[in-house]
Structure 1
Amino acid sequence: MAWEFYRALIARLVLRPAPVPLLGSFSSLAQNFTMEKYVEKTLACLPANMSLTTATRTLVGIGGYIQHLVAHSPPIPPLTTTHTLLKEGEGFVQPLINPRPVYLFATPTHTLLKFGKHLESVLVSSSLQTIALAAIFIAVFAHLVIGYLTQVRYPPNLPRVREPAGATRFSLKTRWDYYTDCKSLYKEAYETYSKHGKTCLLPGLGFRNEVIIPGASLRWYTSQPDHVLSSYEAFIELNQAVYTTGDANVIRNPWQAKLVRTQMLSLIEPIVADLNDELKISIDEKFGMDEEEWRELDLYEMVRIVIAQGSSRFTVGIPLCRDETYLKRTIDYIDNTINGGVFIGILPRPIRPLFGSLFRIITHLHLRSIRNSLSPLFHARLPLLQTPPGPDEPLDHLQMMLRYAAANCPSELNLTNFTARLSVSNSGSFHQASMAITNTLFNILDSDAEYSTINALREEAVAALNEHNGVWTKATAAQMTKMDSVCRETLRLHAFANRAVFKRVVADSLVTEDGITLPKGAMLSLLAQPAQTDPEVFDAPMTFDPFRFSRAREAITDDSNLPSSPHPIVPDSEKASSNGPPPHPPGKLPLISTSAINLPFAHGRHACPGRFIVDFEMKIMLAYLLMHYDIVVVKRDKPWREWAAEASMLVKGGKVSVRRRGTME
């Protein structure tokens, strides 16, 4: 019986009856409207047809009512009619000719009639695919309307890039440019507004707009208190942390990050010694020890797992840092956070909870797996809190967090909270360091033919390590000025984010230095990539010059040893126009420095506290790879990087061939 039913149903769907025409008017349609002719389609797709049928009946009812009003309204007076003015007091008033001007509904009525006919034809004669397309169209239309109505409103005196003066919204073309040509859009905003000390507005992801603060206002911008401009609320919005972190409070109150600044940096050298050991072990395992055969590998994927293991050495220690399940789930968690920030952020705010729930489920699955891996170590460390720290106390982030929570926030001393906090901390150290090291390696390989980059870096690394007995210390890293320059030059050109120093307005009526009143909820940032490639600040700004900053430091050193000259040498990093961002003082040339033209690690009191560890990670891994491996690029047609909207992304599939080197001479 079931087979006969479905066979008959399929036959009816294939042999569709001719469409039933709509009657002449909405009023007659309202009287003759029945559901019988939709039975077959309802059997085929019950939810879709019920929704469309309800919409059609609603439109029919509205149309019939409006038709009734139009039919019984007074005639529309001709434009040539002369009206008698009645005197009232000292003035004149016009008598009310048409007290109920329902003729204004005539055009909407015709529109509803056409739309109703279209829905009728869809329900009667369309296939399931057409109904699905109609549903998608309605969803997209609702998305656009809701997004437009719920976006933050900005004052008309805030200039919109590529829009005429006084414009209150962006054109579709400008919004499309954000996705297809964001690089030139940012450059235009920088040249037109930021370089001249003016605040402006740029289109952002979805319906979000971004307020761009000029570099000249950086001091004012970073000095605003957190109850006025909040970095934490900005990152919650950018990452959609409510759905992608497991607990947004770990960003609103990120005490785990403050421990990096207050405690870990004071123990940097023993931490770096452990980091060095772990990176060597991981590199040898992942890149291989074969000195005869070349091995082809995906550079980014390999660097990412090496950095995950090395970074985990100073976050959770041995043996968890070598647990492949823990590392893989943490990487999956980070990928989910990045994807969630994009796919949820593009939606209007009222719709986000619906789709955000899907990412929340995925987040909890990843966190549950991470929690299962962390649980034995977490519970093994708890008894250590009963005694004062001793010489055998583990020197990792987890132990510092346990001590801090026990003393300052005992309610957060639980496995679930610690899992979320460690996972959020790993998001920065894993992702940013992996991107930076991969980009730097590609730049080293690409520039080697012109600058002999590999030999110069190998010689510098060997000399510095020999001078310090093979031990990585602050002095060892500081001595590698060429390696530092290569890393700094890479982040100048190829940082993941092309904006920086993100903040969100959390107070009412904030006024910028140039007199723009910003609404609560506005997202603020500085343009990083255009400032870091300003031709008035850097010579050949779009060219990768591996030793740009090391030469500048050498020039400063040479000048300090010479008598004063009426024409001192000025490094290109110290050039700047009077309207542009301030130049670097000599002490701002290293990688870890921050300024208006060096923003990979942000700036101010919320600058990345882990940048000192990233500095060691990059130099240790690059030095070890170059000293112990030969690396060549596997040729490809596509570039290594491309802009995806506003992000600078590594194109997947960037491969290299590696082979273990013999003993360094």
Structure 2
Amino acid sequence: MSSTNYTSLSYSLPFHFNEPSLTFSWIGFTLLAILLSYGAFVILKPDPYAHIPAVGGSGIISAYHTAKRFYNHSNELIVAGYDNYKDRIYRIPSKDRWQVIVSRPDQIEELRKAPDDVLSFKDFVDQTLFIKYLMGRTIVANEYHIGVVRSQLTKNLSVLFDDLREEIQSAFDDIIPQTDDWVSIHAYSKIAEIVARASNRIFVGVPICREPEYLKVNIDFTMSISKSRNRLIRTPAFLRPLVARYLTTVSESITIAAKYLGPIIQERQAKIDEHGQDYPEKPVDLLSWLMEDASNEQRTVTQLTNRILSLNFAAIHTSSMTFTHTLYHLAAEPHYLQPMREEIESVIAQEGWTKIAMTKMHKLDSFLKESLRYNGISFVSLNRIALKDFTFSDGTFIPKGTFISAAAQSIHHDEEKYPDSEKFDGFRFANIRTQDGYNTTNQFVNTSPDYIPFGHGKHACPGRFFAANELKAMMAYLVLNYDIKMKNEGVRPKNLSIAMSCPPDITASVMFRRRQL
């Protein structure tokens, strides 16, 4: 088209584009019309959640002000909904959506029993943890590692326990040396190092589990994912893929970790090619089981390394926070040390340092369970996203696309379920078990509609049995070998609140010394 034709076209328009003032007026009028139309659409659009009561109000302005508080005060909002609408499903506004909350046992049962193609846990995780951006799309596309953890790892805990115990002892001795004088230790970072070593003893074995650079990349990967996710939560959805591109450390972390895992993976694969899966002196560890179950395209050094990094994220992140929460309680109330020591010493005298011994340390088990009840690492549990419309038996309609969770922290602090619920009672569950004849219902790993820090039902944390043995062995070793206290005696560091997460104060220190006999 010639320049003459362009000129003719411009004259045929309502406003002459060669006149700046008219051009700006036209653009401004158009933008204003669009904004007014959108505003009218938002205001007049039927609210699909109108039948569900809202914390802080459901109006545009009231919901906006409530949503501003969500990131750092989510549990206050959940508690307000739990107290005001205890027998009803309710909703809380966050920055970009309504979060629907359930709390009654029957509602939790319906939530856990709903088919995955209706209320999906996997899709919730994908959309809230941003795994495809921060850990790699292959982790989302193929989750065969979950089956490996649920089956091979759990079934072999007795076989692996000696290795786990040995690494825990070695890690504590290296990372928190025993001295006769009180020493201030930055708790979370040191616990993360111990958890990383103990976990990787079972994941990939020695000597890699003790390599400083390998451990550092796994710990840093865990911290980086957590920080990046917290940033992405505050980022509008349409910008997240772009922002995540500059936040993810997946490729760099894989490159570093592969320096250590690559030669081992290649050596093991060569033996599989020569002798088959059950080759002589095959290591008993998670890497071996991952290689067994991986499809051909998942058996490369890059893919297996990525898988190990992702499992480390889950293990280090959750176990370090859980143990640190528990450590703060013990340091603030060291009167629990002596009765736990007596129990641990008695059990070990009978059973030795074995997995069976861990099941008989009821006070230790109770202390960990009570800490997870009292704190948790998340204010909610049984997280799902509705892939289809869903209706609860009480008639509450849940539209497709809704994010829905159970009010874990509120349930765990309900006086009707847990008398004196605002008091930390380290032996709460041990006392209940004594009354019930030491049945297993109140063990650390058991879930129920009233105890859901691990979730409940088929999507309950598959690694909780390994984690429980690791945490109990760590705590047993600490209790037998160290005295601990807070610098400000009796004062426990306050928990943090980050969106729906409840991490411990990761800046706090604990005083350690060699146990005084």
State the TM-score, normalizing by the size of structure 1: 0.69
Structure 1 position 225, deviation (Å): 2.0
* 2:24 paired with 1:59: yes
Three-state SS of the structure 2 residue aligned to 1:659 is: strand
Q: Distance in 2 between matches of 1:588 and 1:623?
A: 22
Q: Closer, same or farther in 2 for the Cα pair 1:369/1:447, shift >3 Å?
A: same
Asked which structure has the greater CA Rg, the reply is 1
Amino acid corresponding to residue 52 of structure 2 in structure 1:
L
Three-state SS of the structure 1 residue aligned to 2:185 is: strand
Q: Which residue of 2 aligns with 1:402?
A: 291
CA contact (8 A) 1:207 1:346 kept: no
Q: Closer, same or farther in 2 for the Cα pair 1:391/1:156, shift >3 Å?
A: same
CA contact (8 A) 1:231 1:502 kept: yes
Q: Which residue of 2 aligns with 1:213?
A: 102
Q: Distance in 2 between matches of 1:606 and 1:175?
A: 29
Q: Distance in 2 between matches of 1:439 and 1:293?
A: 24
Query: Structure 2, unaligned stretches of length 5 or more?
Result: 1-14
CA contact (8 A) 1:244 1:337 kept: yes
* 2:413 paired with 1:519: no
* 2:246 paired with 1:377: no
* 2:304 paired with 1:418: yes
Q: Distance in 1 between matches of 2:139 and 2:428?
A: 39
Q: Distance in 1 between matches of 2:62 and 2:256?
A: 44
CA contact (8 A) 1:170 1:203 kept: no
Structure 1 position 219, deviation (Å): 2.0
Indicate which of 403, 410, 418 corresponds to 1:530.
410
Q: Per-residue displacement from partner, 1:414-472 (whole Å, max 9, x unpaired)? A: 12221222122111211111111111111112223xxx20001111111111111x322
Q: How does 1:137-536 map to 2 (within 5 A)?
A: 154-163=48-57, 171-193=63-85, 195-196=86-87, 198-204=88-94, 206-215=95-104, 216-247=106-137, 249-290=138-179, 292-360=180-248, 362-386=249-273, 387-389=276-278, 392-405=281-294, 409-448=295-334, 452-468=335-351, 470-473=352-355, 475-507=356-388, 509-536=389-416
Q: Which residue of 1 aligns with 2:457?
A: 604
Three-state SS of the structure 2 residue aligned to 1:649 is: coil
Structure 1 position 334, deviation (Å): 1.4
Structure 1 position 391, deviation (Å): 6.2
Q: Distance in 2 between matches of 1:631 and 1:657?
A: 5
Three-state SS of the structure 2 residue aligned to 1:62 is: helix
Q: Per-residue displacement from partner, 1:4-60 (whole Å, max 9, x unpaired)? A: xxxxxxxxxxxxxxxxxxxxxxx9998576xxxxxxxxxxxxxxxxxxxxxxx9634
CA contact (8 A) 2:271 2:279 kept: no
Q: How many matched pairs?
A: 494
Structure 1 position 653, deviation (Å): 2.4
Q: Distance in 1 between matches of 2:53 and 2:65?
A: 17
Q: Which residue of 2 aligns with 1:22?
A: none
Q: Distance in 2 between matches of 1:363 and 1:388?
A: 29
CA contact (8 A) 2:109 2:449 kept: no
Q: Closer, same or farther in 2 for the Cα pair 1:319/1:172, shift >3 Å?
A: same
Q: Distance in 1 between matches of 2:205 and 2:46?
A: 45
Q: Which residue of 1 aligns with 2:428?
A: 548
Identity of aligned residues (%): 25
Q: Distance in 2 between matches of 1:638 and 1:296?
A: 15
State the TM-score, normalizing by the size of structure 2: 0.88
CA contact (8 A) 2:195 2:319 kept: yes
Amino acid corresponding to residue 464 of structure 2 in structure 1:
R
Three-state SS of the structure 1 residue aligned to 2:405 is: strand
How large is the RMSD of aligned CA atoms in angstroms? 3.0
Amino acid corresponding to residue 487 of structure 1 in structure 2:
L
Q: Closer, same or farther in 2 for the Cα pair 1:422/1:152, shift >3 Å?
A: farther
* 2:463 paired with 1:643: no
Structure 1 position 486, deviation (Å): 0.5
* 267-276 vs 174-183, greater mean Cα deviation: 174-183
Structure showing greater relative contact order (alpha-carbon pairs closer than 8 Å, 6 or more residues apart): 2
Q: Closer, same or farther in 2 for the Cα pair 1:638/1:404, shift >3 Å?
A: closer
Q: Closer, same or farther in 2 for the Cα pair 1:283/1:58, shift >3 Å?
A: farther
Q: Closer, same or farther in 2 for the Cα pair 1:481/1:62, shift >3 Å?
A: same
CA contact (8 A) 2:385 2:404 kept: yes
Q: Closer, same or farther in 2 for the Cα pair 1:60/1:395, shift >3 Å?
A: same
Structure 1 position 490, deviation (Å): 0.2
Q: Distance in 2 between matches of 1:519 and 1:346?
A: 24
Structure 1 position 553, deviation (Å): 1.0
Q: Closer, same or farther in 2 for the Cα pair 1:410/1:544, shift >3 Å?
A: same
4+ runs deviating over 6 angstroms: 27-30
Query: Structure 1, unaligned stretches of length 5 or more?
Result: 1-26, 34-56, 67-104, 113-140, 559-585
* 2:506 paired with 1:659: no
CA contact (8 A) 1:385 1:403 kept: no
Q: Per-residue displacement from partner, 1:214-242 (whole Å, max 9, x unpaired)? A: 33222221122222222111111111112
Q: Closer, same or farther in 2 for the Cα pair 1:276/1:268, shift >3 Å?
A: same
Structure 1 position 521, deviation (Å): 2.4
Three-state SS of the structure 1 residue aligned to 2:100 is: strand
Q: Distance in 2 between matches of 1:417 and 1:274?
A: 26
Q: Closer, same or farther in 2 for the Cα pair 1:442/1:61, shift >3 Å?
A: same
Amino acid corresponding to residue 356 of structure 1 in structure 2:
A
Three-state SS of the structure 2 residue aligned to 1:227 is: coil
Structure 1 position 336, deviation (Å): 2.0
Three-state SS of the structure 1 residue aligned to 2:353 is: coil
Q: Distance in 2 between matches of 1:170 and 1:253?
A: 42
CA contact (8 A) 2:329 2:492 kept: no
Structure 1 position 355, deviation (Å): 0.9
CA contact (8 A) 1:511 1:517 kept: yes
CA contact (8 A) 2:332 2:485 kept: no
